[in-house]
Amino acid sequence: MARFAALLLLPVLIESVFSISFFLPVNSRKCLREEIHKDVLVTGEYDINDESNTKTNLKITDSSGHILYLKEDATKGKFAFTTEDYDMFEVCFESKSPMGTGRVPDQLVNLDMKHGVEAKNYEEIAKVEKLKPLEDLSESIVNDFAYMKRREEEMRDTNESTNTRVLYFSIFSMCCLIGLATWQVFYLRRFFKAKKLIE
């Protein structure tokens, strides 16, 4: 039972943390995407290597294009927002420089994103609300199970609807075949009677 619980907790913890480092060429744009559930706290911290004559903008949007965070001439900072719906979120870094490509070194970008249980600062929260990390972890697991249950119900409804349509189509096809066979029998009888092959 303990092993099963550990297997359940592991995906929740892995999916809550996202860390990446990459080089951003001058006058280029690089975006990262991630799907996040509804009503989830998302926090992040970024650090961009500062280069002279280079400005880097950071913008976070949802699939509808709504701007959740925007920082022009970003170098180092933090951001936080709470998702309003299950959606695909995009984090974009854009480098601009009047010097042109090849004359300015690539910028090193470090990005750490956390969401859900991992995104909360429990030292600050505990002072106000006296919450324990285990309580929020349990709530996160319950929410994930509730989401999976809703998906299972949606899939079951879809399967039932598909099975009903297949059943009706099968009955309709069978009726068509029976009708066609009956018509062929009467047609052949009239044909053979006309040729006087049968009485």
* Cα(50)–Cα(33) distance, integer angstroms: 24
pLDDT in tens, 62-116: 988 899 999 998 999 998 888 888 889 999 999 988 776 667 788 899 999 888 7
* Cα(16)–Cα(42) distance, integer angstroms: 9
Averaged confidence pLDDT in the chain? 80
pLDDT in tens, 44-61: 899 998 877 789 999 999
Q: How confident is the model at residue 4 (pLDDT cuts 50, 70, 90)?
A: very low
3-state SS track over 112-180: EEEEHHHHCCHHHHHHHHCCCHHHHHHHHHHHHHHHHHHHHHHHHHHHHHHHHHHHHHHHHHHHHHHHH
CA 132, 133, 139, 141 dihedral sign is negative
- C-alpha neighbours within 13 Å on the C-beta side of residue 46: 24
